[in-house]
Amino acid sequence: MIQLMILVIACAILLLLAWQIWRDNQRDNDPAVLQQLILQQFEEKHRAMLLDFNDGLNKLGDRLSSSSIEISERLRVSVASELQATRDAMQTLQLAQNNSLSLTRETVLEKLHTTLAEQGKAQQALIQSTMHNATLQLTTSIEALTKSVDGRLEQIGGKVSERLDEGFKKTNQTFIDVMARLATIDEAQKKIDGLTTNVVSLQELLGDKRSRGAFGEVQLEALVRNVLPVSSFAMQYTFENGTRADCAIFLPDPTGTVAVDSKFPLENYHRMFNSKLSDAEQTAAEKQFKIDVKKHVDDIANKYIISNVTSDGAVMFIPAEAVFAELHAYHADVIEYAMNKRVWVVSPTTLMAVLNTARAVLKDVETRKQVHVIKEELGKLSKDFGRFDLRMKKLADNIRQAHENAQDVHISSQKISQRFAQIERVELANKPKDLLDVIEEIEE
């Protein structure tokens, strides 16, 4: 808009300038003067035009600025009035809503109070009636329970009297049994005293070398007989070189015959732990104990390991677990010496393990001998199982056929039942075929 106004003003000024020049030309026909005048007029007009144009622009800017300020002020006033009107409307709406909510709350409270009062009265009446009924029922139940309890108490009193009588009888019998047991305990005490005497006698018995040897042989024989079959061992067995072992165990090849000899090095063992002796004497007893054990090992290795007769090792049986434990715990050099001599030192416990191993070996050998018998029996069992399989298949076919026959009988039974029902309802005339009839015709 401003540019259009400036353009119009410039066109008007140019028209005025052209008109002025034309009028001066008409008045003065001198070219030089005319040119000079034209230039002067042009310069004056140009200067005046620029001044007017600048003045017009300044006025136009002032008008535009005042117009913009006026428009902004009007807009601010309008927006402020609209905002104030909106605030007033919101406040009015809020007040109206608060009033409406207050009225609604009062109405609801009144209705709720009325409803609750009515429900409270009804519930109070219901509770009173329920409590009255419950009181009556409880009174009745208490009376019945009192009667039942009285009856039960009478029964319990009778049973308690009976139980007390029985308890007194049992107590008397228990007292009699206790007296009898005390008499038995007295006899057992006497036997314990006798056993103590026997233990002392056993200690005296073990003080003799021959007695200890006999004790070890008896213990060895008892262990071997309890584990191995009679045919697999021999007590006091004499070999080809004339030596006799306490026991010989006959194992299959490549082990062969194993000699077991009982040794009981006890004197120096007791001296090792005798607190009445000095340390030097106990040390000397310990050395002598090791020498005794090594001597027993050498004797067994030289006598009972015979080439092509016995196995390449023999067993030295020590009847005392304490002596065996002492050797393994504190005299490993003696055990290593015995192993180098192929003599295996065992106690009653470890001998049981050796004998169980030997029994397993013997059982395995006997099982291998009976392998052909087992194979024959397995072949017979295979044939029997084949016949069983064929007969089971035949039985399954018979069961399947019986099931099919049962289904056919069931269909016929249903058909007969339906026919009877139709006869009762008189529905025989012009009746279409039933599904069971169709199934039966297809099967026939």
Tell me the CA distances in angstroms from 402 to 171, 432, 443, one per residue in order.
Answer: 70, 32, 16
Whether 238 and 310 map to the same domain: the answer is yes
The reported pLDDT for the residue numbered 201 is 42
* Residue at 350 is within a domain: yes
The reported pLDDT for the residue numbered 202 is 42
* Residue at 155 is within a domain: no
* Residue at 379 is within a domain: no
Whether 363 and 224 map to the same domain: the answer is yes
Q: Residue 196, SS3?
A: helix
Whether 417 and 315 map to the same domain: the answer is no
Distance from C-alpha of 423 to C-alpha of 426, rounded to nearest angstrom: 5
* Residue at 138 is within a domain: no
Domain boundary among 347, 369, 391: 369
Bridge partners (DSSP) listed for residue 343: 314
Whether 245 and 336 map to the same domain: the answer is yes
What is the number of structural domains in the chain?
2
Tell me the CA distances in angstroms from 11 to 5, 14, 24, 42, one per residue in order.
Answer: 10, 5, 20, 15
Domain boundary among 369, 385, 412: 369
User: Looking at this protein, which amino acid is placed at residue 92?
Assistant: T
Whether 418 and 359 map to the same domain: the answer is no
* Residue at 169 is within a domain: no
Whether 292 and 236 map to the same domain: the answer is yes
Domain boundary among 320, 351, 369: 369
Whether 291 and 220 map to the same domain: the answer is yes
Structure tokens at 294: 């090594």
* Residue at 258 is within a domain: yes
Q: Residue 312, SS3?
A: coil
Its domain, for residue 221, covers 211-369
The reported pLDDT for the residue numbered 336 is 92
Whether 408 and 290 map to the same domain: the answer is no
The reported pLDDT for the residue numbered 175 is 55
Whether 364 and 431 map to the same domain: the answer is no
The reported pLDDT for the residue numbered 441 is 55
Which H or E element spans position 427? none
Whether 343 and 266 map to the same domain: the answer is yes
* Residue at 190 is within a domain: no
Distance from C-alpha of 20 to C-alpha of 25, rounded to nearest angstrom: 9
* Cα–Cα nearest to 327, from 303, 366, 358, 296: 296
pLDDT in tens, the chain (444 residues): 566 666 667 777 777 766 666 666 555 555 566 667 667 777 777 777 778 777 777 777 777 777 778 877 887 877 777 778 778 877 888 788 778 777 877 887 787 777 767 776 777 777 777 767 766 776 776 677 667 766 766 776 666 567 656 765 766 676 576 667 666 766 666 666 555 444 434 444 444 566 666 778 888 888 888 888 888 889 988 888 888 888 999 888 788 888 898 887 777 888 888 888 888 888 888 888 889 889 999 999 888 888 888 888 899 988 888 888 888 888 889 899 999 999 999 988 888 888 898 888 888 887 777 767 777 777 777 788 778 778 878 887 888 887 787 787 778 777 877 877 777 776 544 455 555 554 555 555
Whether 327 and 424 map to the same domain: the answer is no
Whether 408 and 329 map to the same domain: the answer is no
* Residue at 413 is within a domain: yes
Q: Residue 262, SS3?
A: strand
